[in-house]
Amino acid sequence: MEMATRKKLTNNLRISLSTALICCLSLCCLNLGAQETKYSRDVIPNYRTDVIPVIKKDTPLFNYSTEGAIEQIKMTGIYNERSFRFYSTKNEVISKASVTVRYTPSPALIPQQSQLNVYLNGQLQKSLPITKEQLGKQVSETVEFNPKQIEDSNRITLEFVGQYTTVCGTIANPALWLTVDKSSYLTLNTQKIRLANDLSLFPIPFINTQNPSSTSLPIVFANKPSDLMKTAAAVFASMGGVKAQWRGIEYPVYINEQPSEQNYVVFATNLDRPEFLKNLPKVQAPTISIIDAPNSLYAKILVISGRDEADLITATRWLATADKGLAGDTVSIVGFKALPDRLPYDAPDWIRTDKKVSFDQIAKYKGQLTSSGFHPAPIKLELKLPPDLFMVNQSNVNLDLRYRYTKPTTGEPAQMRFLLNDHLVESYDLSPKSTSSSFNSQFSLLNGLANLWNGTSIPSDMLSPENMLTFDFQYGLAVAGGSPENCKSVALIPNQVEVDPNSTIDFSGFYHFAKLPDLKLFTVSGFPFTKYADLSQTLVLIEENAPANVLSTLFTALGRLSAQTGYPATKVTVASSVSKDNAKDKDILVIAETDRKIGTMDKADPLIILDALRQKLKSTFSPDADKVAYSTYAEDTGIAAMVQYESPYSSERSIVGLFGDGQDGSFLLNKRLMNPGDLKQIGGAVAIIKPNAEPASYMVGETYFSGSLPWHQRIWYSLLDQPLLLVLFSLICALLIAGGVFYIMHSVIRLRSRRH
């Protein structure tokens, strides 16, 4: 018995040791294989979200307001709802969401009968009754959302239901109010998920096109990129700016290095590719593919590859202009024909200046020209103009505006207010009577009433390259009250208003003419480069061995330029030196670092700065000049500069330089370029950008002009800045005209006297 037991134990021990040995050998083989694995397709993907870290983030609720930037919210009996919108991208899942609302109810409210309701996508999540202890005091309540009701686009609605009396109340009573504090916040728990390798999802997950956040998209090269590879990456970067639009996009640059846990783009040829993609199969044509990032649970790589660098340019041009054909994990481009150069001033996001433009061509989304409610929200329409459109104060823009509206209650005032860039242009009463028969026969009526405003003009001195037209319909609202013995009530009907999409605005007849240098035209609209939306007449200069931070400035700047036009820079040229061939008849954008002598540029004279940067450009990019060694990393001051002056290679052409003083300066400049609103106050010929301060601008150097004017407009323009000379010129003209009239009249009298 004992012998049998011992034998059995010995056998079990042998089996255990054998199993352990096999497991150890298997683990060693697996580890060895993992060390040798470089190509991402060999990495086993993990689709489980429970192993991906949960990211918890608290964000101020007001950041999601559908009304734009707001400082406070006061809800009343009439304005009893406020909405907020947040988004869930396709490459993440929101596992948990809640909103913490901090609010103060009016002390006049009746407890329990008054409440604050919280909705998500129209579904009630929780009703928060107002208790006696809460009246007049700030309350903090957290409402958990049902995760099953969270969608790609989500709308949070706060509804205030208030009672201040049990009989004969009115919603217009000033005692009905509840304020929401700006310390309220939204909490989101998100987890990344691994999407399928499907290019039909592009630009997702690489570029954010849904929520208001900006995009940071790294670009990876195997080595310092050549001019052709920089050109290909610049085309791609500009396309990203078009996709991101107003949200902003930046491009950190990595050389033969993987960004950690982030989607990114790799440029590779058959002979020049990053080490971690060395096993990537060679291609026989310009190719775009999407693969899983090595050693990441969810990140993707967009690989733009080709036989050589020319293929990379073909691939990015195709990707930037393709409206179909993206599907699967790989696309090979065969027989691509580049589009012809674009005409001047034909940027898709700029309004046409050669003919009338209807409002339906300007509107960007369905329903933009309509509004409803007791007090309808203003209807807004954005207008982007060519920045060099020549206007004087006497110029007018013809506007043919047609709008429909609900009939106002008889005796109650109602107006339509037209504002341009928040300045009141005109206000018109909304008549409760019927409109003319000619209008009724031409346009369908909305809820029974309409009005027509024809031949109205907009003063041009109120216009800028970026404009906002606002149509604000205001209805007077009188709510009956009474007494408990004689209580009166009224049923309020929401109003409906609409700006007719056939309304037109006409900017034709204006000339293109600008006095330069003026960096404001560059920072607001990218002028003069964006005159041709594809940048076909733009030369970008950047040093051959530019460091990663300067390359990042190049790509971020191109993204901003194309975001302002709505079209990618498919014809841009990137070079490391100037020659007569590549600089002639071109506007030049220079991306470079400054040297230590400009490290204290905020203390130097602006003219000295301009001259110093001119000399740097000449010494750095001239093919015949000796390269000067600049110690740019000795002192990272966190200062950046922008300059503009006339090109020495072609008259009426510009050079715009973007300079960062070391890595800190480049970082500062890139962040400013990414945010469309950060540089709008810059102007003049030299601008200095410092951390935590408004940019400083200076008008120095020689002036020059872009565009052309007829001789009579030239005379008028020359006299605008000379009021005394203008008066003298007017007197001379008046004397000449009077003398001419006197001579003609005298000749007529003499002729008549001879006949008699």
Residues 676-713: tens digit of each pLDDT: 777 888 889 998 888 888 888 888 888 998 888 776 66
pLDDT value, residue 634: 34
For residues 385 and 467, the answer to whether their CB atoms sit within 8 Å is: yes
pLDDT value, residue 3: 45
User: Who's near 25: CB < 8 A, 6+ residues apart?
Assistant: none
pLDDT at 439 over 70: no
Which residues, in sequence order, are bridge partners of residue 92?
A: 192
Strand (E) or helix (H) holding 440: helix 437-442
pLDDT value, residue 548: 94
CATH architecture assigned to 55-192: Sandwich (2.60)
Task: Report the CATH number of the 199-332 domain.
Answer: 3.30.379
CA distance 625 to 745: 71
CA distance 561 to 523: 9
pLDDT at 628 over 90: no
DSSP summary character for residue 207: S
Encode 4-39: b = buried (16+ Cβ within 10 Å), e = exposed: eeeeeeeeeeeeeeeeeeeeeeeeeeeeeeeeeeee
pLDDT at 116 over 90: yes
pLDDT at 718 over 70: no
Equal CATH topology for 199-332 and 518-702: yes
pLDDT at 143 over 90: yes
CA distance 312 to 225: 12
Higher local confidence (pLDDT), 453 or 245: 245
DSSP summary character for residue 194: P
pLDDT at 136 over 70: yes
Band of residue 399 on the pLDDT scale cut at 50, 70, 90: confident
DSSP summary character for residue 329: S
Higher local confidence (pLDDT), 448 or 75: 75
pLDDT tens, 483-542? 666 676 666 778 889 998 998 888 887 888 888 999 999 999 999 999 999 999 999 999
pLDDT value, residue 602: 45
- The overall average pLDDT reported for the chain is 81
Token code pair at residue 182: 């700006």
pLDDT value, residue 485: 64
Higher local confidence (pLDDT), 361 or 70: 361
Type of residue found at 738 = A
pLDDT value, residue 313: 97
Q: Which of 39-48, 152-161, 288-297, 676-685 has the lowest mean pLDDT?
A: 39-48
3-state per-residue secondary structure call for 8-43: HHHHHHHHHHHHHHHHHHHHHHHHHHHHHCCCHHHC
Q: What is the mean pLDDT of residues 438-452?
A: 29
pLDDT at 241 over 90: yes
pLDDT value, residue 21: 42
pLDDT value, residue 423: 86
Band of residue 646 on the pLDDT scale cut at 50, 70, 90: very high
Strand (E) or helix (H) holding 731: helix 723-755
* Ranges assigned E (strand) in 271-343: 287-292, 300-306, 330-332
* Residue 534: strand, helix, or coil: coil
pLDDT value, residue 665: 86
pLDDT at 601 over 50: no
The answer, yes or no, to whether the previous bond of 174 is cis (omega within 30 of 0) is no
Helices then strands (H, E): number in the chain? 12, 38
Q: What is the mean pLDDT of residues 363-367?
A: 87
Higher local confidence (pLDDT), 97 or 374: 97
Portion of the chain with pLDDT greater than 90, in percent = 43
Q: Which of 23-27, 360-364, 573-577 has the lowest mean pLDDT?
A: 23-27
CA distance 712 to 695: 38
pLDDT at 719 over 70: no
pLDDT value, residue 367: 87
pLDDT value, residue 454: 38
pLDDT value, residue 187: 95
Measured over the CA atoms of residue 559, residue 560, residue 564 and residue 569, the dihedral's sign is negative
Q: In this structure, which topology does domain 356-510 adopt according to CATH?
A: Jelly Rolls (2.60.120)
Domain ranges of the chain: 55-192, 199-332, 356-510, 518-702, 722-756
Residue with the two structure tokens 């294989």? 33
pLDDT value, residue 489: 62
Token code pair at residue 76: 């009343």
Encode 615-640: b = buried (16+ Cβ within 10 Å), e = exposed: ebbeebbeeeeeeeebebeeebbbbb
Q: What is the mean pLDDT of residues 4-26?
A: 45
Token code pair at residue 668: 């500062």
Separation in Å, CA 381 to CA 363, 364, 468: 7, 9, 6
Type of residue found at 167 = V
DSSP summary character for residue 273: -
358 CB-contact burial (10 Å; exposed 0-12 / middle 13-18 / buried 19+): middle
Band of residue 30 on the pLDDT scale cut at 50, 70, 90: very low
Separation in Å, CA 46 to CA 49, 50, 294: 8, 10, 12
pLDDT value, residue 160: 95
CA distance 700 to 696: 13
Q: What is the mean pLDDT of residues 195-214?
A: 90
pLDDT value, residue 658: 93
pLDDT tens, 529-550? 999 999 999 999 999 999 999 9
Angle at 482 between CA 476 and CA 488, to 5 degrees: 75
In sequence order, which ranges of 275-394 are alpha helices (DSSP H)?
309-321, 359-362
Say what angle helices 548-565 and 227-244 make with each other, to 10 degrees.
Answer: 50
Q: Which of 171-180, 237-246, 441-450, 660-669 has the lowest mean pLDDT?
A: 441-450
pLDDT at 371 over 70: yes
pLDDT tens, 582-595? 888 999 999 988 75
* Residue 745: strand, helix, or coil: helix
Q: What is the mean pLDDT of residues 70-83?
A: 88
Band of residue 457 on the pLDDT scale cut at 50, 70, 90: low
Higher local confidence (pLDDT), 408 or 24: 408
Strand (E) or helix (H) holding 754: helix 723-755
**Quick one: CA torsion of 645, 572, 264, 201, rounded to 10 degrees?**
130
Which residues, in sequence order, are bridge partners of residue 466?
A: 384
CA distance 44 to 41: 7
Reference 118, options 151, 161, 170, 73; nearest CA is 161
Higher local confidence (pLDDT), 15 or 80: 80
Residue with the two structure tokens 């406020």? 82
Portion of the chain with pLDDT greater than 70, in percent = 78
Q: What is the mean pLDDT of residues 3-19?
A: 46
CA distance 537 to 475: 51
CA distance 524 to 565: 11
Token code pair at residue 591: 């991306």
| Phi/psi of residue 523, nearest 5 degrees | -70, -30
Residues in the chain: 756
Band of residue 448 on the pLDDT scale cut at 50, 70, 90: very low
Q: What is the mean pLDDT of residues 108-122?
A: 94
| Phi/psi of residue 677, nearest 5 degrees | -95, -5
Cα 281 to chain centroid, rounded: 37
pLDDT tens, 40-64? 333 344 444 556 788 899 999 998 8
Q: Which CATH class is domain 518-702?
A: alpha beta
Angle at 19 between CA 18 and CA 24, to 5 degrees: 100
Neighbouring C-beta atoms of residue 547, cutoff 10 Å: 17
Strands 139-144 and 92-105, by their bridges, are: antiparallel
